[in-house]
Amino acid sequence: MPTIKIEGTGEQFEQTESQDCILRAGLTAGYGLAYECNSGGCGTCKFQLIEGEIEEPWPTAPALSARDIKKGRKLACQCKAKTDLVIKMRTDPEYAPINLPARFEATLSSRRDVTSDIVEFCFQAPDSADAKFLPGQYAMLTFPDGRGPRAYSMSNLPNGDGVWEFWIRRKPGGEVSGALFDELRVGGRIVVDGPYGHAYLRAESERDILCIAGGSGISPMLSIARGVLMDPDMEGRQVHFYFGGRTPDDLCGLDELKVLPGFQERVHYHPAISMPEESPEWTGDTGFIHEIVENQLGNELSRFECYLAGPPPMVQATTKMLQLQGNVPTGQIHYDPFY
Ligand code: FES
C-alpha cells in the first residue's frame, strides 16, 4: 500500500485501493488536494513527482501542455502510485471533501425519457446506503467491465433511500453515454464513485440564486433548485432559472420544478432556444443563454449566487459575461469545468 507525501505540507496518506488514482486516495483520506474535473481536462490537479514511481495510463491527457510534459508535470486524477511517493502539489482546505467519495456497485432501478436525447437514470445503492452528496455535485460512473469512468452530475437531492438520479444526455460517439442509453436496462449494474465537485449549493449564502443551464447542464441545476426549495434555512430565497436549448424539444425541467413547494412564489423559469429558424412557432426568448441573462438581469447580476452548467463554450461565455458585464465576484460563480 503506497504512501504519498506532499512536500512542504507535512500531509501524507495511503493509496489504499489498487484502482485509486492519487487524487482519490488523498480525497478519501480527507485532504484538500486541488482538483475540478477529475477527468484529465482542467489541469487543476497537476503535480510534480519528486520521488518514487507512478503509473500514468494517459500521459497525453488534454490538460497537459507540451511544456507540462517537458517539465515532468503529471495529473493526480490520472496517475497511480506504484511505490511510496513524494510529490509537490497544491492543497487547500477549500478542496477538502465535505462527504468523502465512496465507490459502490449500484443497480438501475428506473429509466425515463426526458427529451429525445436526455434520459433520467435512477440507481439504487446496495442496502439503500445513504446517498451523501451536496446539490450540484457529480459522480464518476464506470461499467463493471471497465468502460468509463465518466463524470455525471446528480439531479436529485441527498437522501436516506440510497437513490442516485442522473439526467444524462447522449453524447454523439460517447462510449459511456452510448452504453448507458443502448445497453443498460432496469436491473443492470454500474459502479458509482462520488461525490466530487465544488459547484455545490452554498446554503449559507443570503443571496438569491441564479441557475444557468445549457443542454445536459440541466441535471445539477435541477438539484440546486430542488435544494433551495426543500431547505427550510433557505426560505424566501428566489431562484432565477435560465435554461437554453437548441429547439423547444430540448427544453425540460419545468415539470419537476413545478411540483416543488413554493414554486409559484420563488422560482422564475426562463427557457430560451438558440435555433429559432427550426421552430417558427416559438414565441419565447431566442439567442445564447448568457446574452439573454445579461439582457434581462443586467446590473442586478452581482446580487446573485450564480451556478452554471453546460457545454464548455457556454460555461466559458457565461463566466466571462458574469465577471466583465455583471461585475459578479469570482467567489459567487460556481461551476465545474469539463472539456
Ligand atoms: Fe485532474 Fe481536472 S485534470 S482534476
Residues 228 and 328 in one domain: yes
pLDDT tens digits for 250-304?
999 999 999 999 999 999 999 999 999 989 999 999 999 999 999 999 899 999 9
Cβ(105)–Cβ(162) under 8 Å? no
Residues 6+ apart with CB under 8 A from 313: none
Atom of ligand 1 nearest to the CA of 36: 4
pLDDT given for residue 172 in this prediction: 87
Distances in Å between the alpha carbon of 96 and those of 29, 30, 291, 308, 326? 9, 6, 34, 21, 30
Domain count, the chain: 3
Task: List, in sequence order, the alpha helices (H) in the chain.
Answer: 22-28, 66-71, 175-182, 218-230, 254-258, 263-266, 289-297, 312-324
Give me the CATH number covering residue 106.
2.40.30.10
Residues 246 and 320 in one domain: yes
pLDDT tens digits for 124-156?
999 989 999 999 999 999 999 999 999 999 999
Residues 113 and 221 in one domain: no
Atom of ligand 1 nearest to the CA of 76: 1
DSSP line for 242-306: EEEESSGGG---HHHHHTSTTHHHHEEEEEEES-GGG-TT--SEES-HHHHHHHHHGGGGGGEEE
Three-state secondary structure call for residue 229: helix
Distance 177 CA to ligand 1 centre (A): 20
pLDDT > 70 fraction of the chain, expressed in percent and rounded: 99
Give the integer Cα–Cα distance in Å for 291 and 298.
Answer: 10
Residues 91 and 122 in one domain: no
| Ligand 1 interacting residues, C-beta cut-off 6 A | 35-38, 40-45, 63, 75, 77
Nearest CA to ligand 1 atom 3: 40
- Among the candidates 95, 130, 156, a domain finishes at 95
Q: What is the mean pLDDT of residues 201-206?
A: 96
**Beta pairing partners, 106:** 190
- Among the candidates 42, 60, 95, a domain finishes at 95
Residues 325 and 213 in one domain: yes
Range of 327's domain?
208-334
Whether 201 is covered by a domain: the verdict is no
Instruction: Count CA within 13 A, CB hemisphere, residue 226.
Output: 22
pLDDT tens digits for 30-67?
999 999 999 999 999 999 999 999 999 999 999 999 99
Whether 52 is covered by a domain: the verdict is yes
Distance 46 CA to ligand 1 centre (A): 7
pLDDT given for residue 63 in this prediction: 95
Distance 25 CA to ligand 1 centre (A): 14
ipTM of the modeled complex:
1.00
Residues 214 and 326 in one domain: yes
Atom of ligand 1 nearest to the CA of 61: 3
Give the integer Cα–Cα distance in Å for 250 and 288.
Answer: 14
Give me the CATH number covering residue 320.
3.40.50.80
Distance 36 CA to ligand 1 centre (A): 6
pLDDT tens digits for 249-264?
999 999 999 999 999 9
Whether 203 is covered by a domain: the verdict is no
pLDDT given for residue 339 in this prediction: 57
Distance 173 CA to ligand 1 centre (A): 22
Q: What is the mean pLDDT of residues 145-174?
A: 95
Whether 202 is covered by a domain: the verdict is no
- Among the candidates 45, 63, 95, a domain finishes at 95
